[in-house]
Structures are given as C-alpha cells and as structure tokens.
A and B are shown apart, each in its own frame.
Chain A
Amino acid sequence: MSDKGLITEDRFLIYAKKIIGQKKIPLPEEECRTAISRAYYSLYHITGSILKSKYSFQLIKEIRKSYPRRRIDLAKLNRLDKKYLHSFNLHKMFFLTLIDLGFATIAFRFRDFRSKRNEADYDLDLNFNVTYSSIIVNGIEKLMEKVRQL
C-alpha cells in the first residue's frame, strides 16, 4: 500500500490508455487484452462509487431483491460494508440498479464492457489487436464520463 493516499478509480483507465498508446508495432496481444481489462475496472469502480454515494437505497433494494433465498445481514448491507458487499455479484447488481433507475442505455453499455473484459481475460481463442482495444478503451472512457454525471 502506498502512503501517498488511496488509488482513485480513473488510475486503471490511465494505465490502459498508456498501454494502447505505446509505439510498439505490433502491440503484443496480452497488452491489448490487459488494457481492456484495466479500463473496465475503472468503469466498475466509478459506477460503484456513484451508486453507493447517490443511489444507495436502490442498490440495497436491488441486492435484497436479487438474493431472496439468502439470509441477509441488514446491518452490514445498510451501511454498505465493503467486505460484505463483495460477497454479492456487484457487476450484476450495478447493471440491475442502473436499469431500475431508468438508465437502461448506460446499463446495457456497462454490461457490454463487462462481457468484453471477460473475453479479454478468459477467451484465448479470440484475437485482440491494438485497433480493437483502442475502440473499447475509448468507449469505456466515454461511458465513465456519463456515469459521473448521474
């Protein structure tokens, strides 16, 4: 851990852009994949912090609705305990909460980037090049701007 302070959400995106901005020709595929994965996590963290700070009621409601069979610790959930929240599929919860709030377009784009991140990290049959990764990373950056304005 750094003593200079906590890492911010956009640092992953900065790193992703640094990767795809390299002048290496061709850019190694693992770097193209890493850029997509890092950029998605910037989006994930910014979405999480906006939902927790501005729409916590809807987020909690969505978690309770999505896990009807699970015995929920309401005290921990209501105070948005970080460790406790990690026991839920937050990627899914953010998507569902965004739809419930009426931000369907943002929710579907968020879900698309989640899918792209999974492909980048798990699907080795696909080919990733710098052009494709740049399109995705730029798309993520634009979506982050929209999420910040929610």
Chain B
Amino acid sequence: MIAPEEVNSSVGVNIKAEQVSGYRPFPSGQQSGITDEGPRVAQDVFPLWRAFEEEEPKMHVFDWMSILGDQFLNQSGVSNILGRRPQPPVFQKPYKITEIAHDFIRKQKRSIDLNKSLDKVSNRILEFMKGRAIESEIIIDLEADTEYGDWIEPRIRVLVEPSKFEQTYKLFDKLLYFSLKGIRKRETKRFMITLDMM
C-alpha cells in the first residue's frame, strides 16, 4: 500500500513529497532534454560578461570617509548624547618661543623635562620682574656659539626697558637665584638666560 504522502512515479520509485518540493524546478529546456534553448542562455551570459568588463573601471567602491564624515557622526546616537568632542583648553603662554627653538627643544632627549624647566624659569622671571615693577618681555630662542658648533642651546632672552637695564643687571643675581630655585642641575646645564634691552 502506498502512503498518501508518497508520490506515485511512473518508474515505480517512491519519492517523498517533501523531497520533491526541496528541489528547484528545472528550466523548460532541461526538462525535455532538448537543447534548443541552449544558445539563448549563452547569449544571456555573454552580454553580462561584456558589461562587467566594460564597467570595471567604474567599480562602485564605498566612500567610507564620506559615510563617516561629520554629517554621519552628528546623526549618530553617540554624538547626540555626548555632543561634540571636547577640545583641550588652550592657555596663552606669557612668553614667546621662536619656531626654530620649539623644533630644537622637541628633538632633544628628555624634551618634556627641558620644556617644563624653561616654562617654570620663564614664568618665575616674569613674576620677579612684575614684583619689581620692571617692564619686561621673554622670548625663548636659540643661541649658537659662533666659534663652537657643538654649543647650541635654548636661550631665555629677558628683554627689559632700556631705562631699567642697568638696574636689572644689578638684580641679575637675585633674579637667577629666584628663577632657578629647585631646577635640577641636569636641566640647568641645557639652557641659558640673557638680559637684553628691548
């Protein structure tokens, strides 16, 4: 007895119905075994291949940069919650530093220590001058000894108003003592301080 879920086959082989439905239906040409539809298939493939070859230079590549641009980020949930990325605060330094000196310091060993020392000493000098009511300005530049190529170092140039230059020179010892206090010996060997007229 043939079960209802089984399909009768003309060749007497029983195939389960679910098994039959699992297969994709054959194209009409293949069902009959006649290949008169064959050339049509080949024609379909050829233009597709040609089209691919022609469009190769125009390949669509995702422009990730534009996707991840500001517009995208601003629309994201994270950006909406946190707002714009916080910018580090920029403090205006009370002295100037030349570009060449900045580059030189950056390339030195232990440049962070040197930078800290220069910053500390410069600020103390300005504090000292302010306390004595002497108008002054500080520029950190580079001093290269004209006779010895191995002696190049950052120079804290203290510019003083001409009328107070002599007075400041007399105070130079006190100024140095005040500004170099607590600075490591190792660091004091790496820069110089000069008094000059504005």
Residues of A whose CB lies within 8 Å of any CB of B are 89, 91-92, 96, 99-100, 102, 104-105, 107-109, 111-112, 114-116, 118, 121-122, 132, 135, 139
User: B52 contacts the other chain (Cβ, under 8 Å)?
Assistant: no
The A interface, classified by DSSP as helix, strand, loop or mixed, is helix
Contact B173 A105, beta carbon cutoff 8 Å? yes
Contact A139 B176, beta carbon cutoff 8 Å? no
Residues of A within 8 A of B176 (CB): 104-105, 108-109
The B interface, classified by DSSP as helix, strand, loop or mixed, is mixed
Tell me whether A111 and B192 are in contact in the complex, defined as CB-CB below 8 angstroms, given that A92-B148, A118-B145, A135-B166 are known contacts: yes
> Among A100, A108, A114, A135, which residue has its beta carbon within 8 angstroms of that of B180?
A108
26 A-B contact pairs sorted by A residue (CB < 8 Å):
A89-B145, A89-B148, A89-B150, A91-B151, A92-B145, A92-B150, A96-B189, A99-B189, A100-B185, A100-B189, A104-B180, A105-B176, A105-B177, A107-B188, A108-B180, A108-B192, A109-B172, A109-B173, A111-B192, A112-B194, A114-B145, A115-B192, A116-B194, A122-B146, A135-B169, A139-B172
Residues of A within 8 A of B177 (CB): 105
Q: Which residues of B from 156 to 174 have beta carbons under 8 Å from A?
A: 165-166, 169, 172-173
Contact B188 A104, beta carbon cutoff 8 Å? yes
User: B193 contacts the other chain (Cβ, under 8 Å)?
Assistant: yes
Q: Which residues of B from 123 to 177 have beta carbons under 8 Å from A?
A: 143, 145-148, 150-151, 155, 165-166, 169, 172-173, 176-177
* Bound complex: CA A115 to CA B147 (Å): 11
* Bound complex: CA A132 to CA B162 (Å): 9
* Bound complex: CA A114 to CA B148 (Å): 12
Closest A residue to B147 using CB positions: A118
Contact B146 A91, beta carbon cutoff 8 Å? no
> Among B146, B169, B193, which residue has its beta carbon within 8 angstroms of that of A108?
B193
User: B197 contacts the other chain (Cβ, under 8 Å)?
Assistant: yes
User: Residue-by-residue, is B183-198 near A (CB-CB < 8 Å gives 1, otherwise 0)?
Assistant: 0010011001111010
* Bound complex: CA A96 to CA B148 (Å): 15
Closest B residue to A67 using CB positions: B150
Residues of B within 8 A of A132 (CB): 165, 197
Tell me whether A91 and B145 are in contact in the complex, defined as CB-CB below 8 angstroms, given that A104-B180, A108-B180, A115-B155 are known contacts: yes
Shortest distance from the beta carbon of B146 to any chain A beta carbon, whole Å: 5
